[in-house]
């Protein structure tokens, strides 16, 4: 039986609160602009105020129009992440960039919500974590993801997404048919390779799961150990990327408001995903993961066209 989630009233209150805060801030900026114009405020100051008004209006408009869609996306992404161990960013980033004020803010929100989803699972499976196998892959991830986030401001990702989509489709088919012959070791070269690829994908696209997933699902002996390792990996890596995104100005008030509202979506999706995960047989679980990697490739390929 699924536990009853009585969260409607709480998150209605959060929505109203965030919406009112946005409107009050917009009203204050407008008042300051008009008052400054009457009192011959310098043109530079008026220009800054006008830019603030435009940003606040855009933020309030997007929050009012798009928050329900973002909430539903977060439910679906949390369900996928909790069921397969990855996929939050791949699922939510298909539409989230069109609903947020900017692409950078979309990756920031995706990372924060994915962190929260993974934290819930990592606490549950904490006894299956082997830290000595996590530290090398996390170290190289920190370097590559930070570099990718810094380059995100000046790069166009359409071509890279197109190539990435084909690669994921090929990899999913290859592993689905040859998974019994392929076994990644827990040696340093494998860990550095998985961490590097994961960092680049996370920094550029907000979806750093597939390389790490392929490594952990091959290296770990059962689905519980896999889930504990991959979710702890995601908690730490998403925390790293959130700090880097905040330093680059992507964690904005709009991101904070959406994050607070979507915590309920994370709770719903994680609960449903845990229920589904417990009912997937251990021997069939890798094929579920490989299948979703293939679906991810198709999604990324379509988004690049």
Please state whether the predicted TM-score (pTM) of the whole model is above 0.85: no
Mean pLDDT of 245-258: 88
What is the average pLDDT across 213-219?
83
The helix (run of H) or strand (run of E) holding residue 48 is: helix 43-84
Minimum mean pLDDT among 74-88, 89-103, 221-235: which range? 89-103
Residue with tokens 């190289």: 140
228 contacts 129 by C-beta, under 8 angstroms: yes
Mean pLDDT score of the chain, rounded to an integer?
76
pLDDT value at residue 72: 92
- How far apart (Å, rounded) are the C-alpha atoms in residues 207 and 303? 14
> Given this model, what pLDDT does residue 1 score?
43
| Contact of 111 with 103, CB cutoff 8 Å | no
Q: Is residue 250 part of a domain?
A: yes
Specify the higher pLDDT residue, 46 or 214.
Answer: 214
In a domain, 35, yes or no: no
Please give the distance of CA 214 from its chain centroid, rounded to a whole number. Answer: 18
pLDDT band at residue 212 using 50, 70 and 90 as cut-offs: confident
Residue 150 has pLDDT above 50, yes or no: yes
Q: Can you give the residue range of the structural domain that contains 264? A: 72-304
Is 268 a member of any domain? yes
* pLDDT (average), residues 158-184: 68
User: How far apart are the C-alpha atoms of 240 and 247, rounded to whole Å?
Assistant: 11
The answer to whether position 235 is within a domain reads: yes
Domain contains 36: no
Average confidence (pLDDT) over 11-26: 47
Structural domain count of the chain: 1
Other beta carbons within 10 angstroms of residue 174's beta carbon come to: 12
pLDDT value for 263: 93
3-state helix, strand, coil in the chain (%, to 5): 80, 0, 20
**Domain for residue 8, yes or no?**
no
Count the Cβ atoms, other than its own, within 10 Å of residue 200.
20
Q: Supply the DSSP string of 230-269, one letter for each residue.
A: HHHHHHHHHHHHHHHHHHTT---HHHHHHHHHHHHHHHHH
Mean local confidence (pLDDT), 31-51: 54
Percent of the chain with pLDDT over 90: 17
Query: Could you tell me which residue, 46 or 1, shows the higher pLDDT?
Result: 46
The answer as to whether 18 is a domain residue is: no
User: Would 167 be classed as within a structural domain?
Assistant: yes
pLDDT classification of 178: cutoffs 50, 70, 90: low
């Amino acid at each position: 039986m699924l536990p009853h989630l009585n969260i409607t009233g709480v998150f209605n209150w959060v929505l109203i609160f965030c919406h009112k805060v946005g409107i009050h801030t917009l009203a204050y900026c407008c008042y300051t602009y008009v008052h400054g114009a009457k009192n011959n405020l310098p043109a530079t100051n008026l220009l800054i105020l006008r830019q603030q008004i435009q940003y606040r209006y855009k933020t309030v408009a997007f929050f009012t129009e798009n928050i329900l869609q973002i909430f539903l996306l977060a439910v679906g992404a949390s369900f996928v992440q909790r069921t397969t161990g990855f996929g939050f960013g791949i699922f939510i980033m298909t539409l989230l960039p069109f609903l947020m004020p900017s692409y950078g803010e979309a990756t920031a929100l995706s990372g924060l919500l994915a962190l929260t989803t993974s934290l819930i699972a990592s606490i549950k499976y904490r006894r299956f974590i082997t830290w000595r196998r996590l530290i090398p892959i996390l170290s190289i991830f920190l370097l590559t993801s930070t570099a990718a986030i810094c380059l995100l401001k000046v790069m166009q990702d359409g071509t890279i997404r197109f190539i990435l989509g084909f690669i994921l489709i090929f990899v999913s088919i290859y592993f689905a048919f040859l998974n019994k012959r392929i076994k990644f070791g827990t040696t340093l070269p494998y860990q550095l390779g998985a961490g590097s690829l994961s960092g680049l994908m996370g920094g550029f696209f907000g979806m750093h799961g597939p390389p790490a997933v392929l490594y952990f699902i091959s290296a770990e002996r059962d689905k519980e150990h896999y889930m504990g390792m991959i979710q702890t990996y995601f908690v730490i890596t998403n925390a790293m990327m959130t700090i880097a995104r905040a330093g680059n100005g992507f964690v904005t008030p709009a991101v904070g408001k959406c994050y607070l509202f979507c915590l309920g979506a994370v709770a719903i999706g994680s609960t449903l995903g845990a229920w589904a995960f417990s009912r997937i047989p251990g021997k069939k679980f890798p094929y579920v993961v490989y299948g979703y990697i293939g679906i991810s490739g198709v999604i990324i390929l379509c988004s690049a066209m």
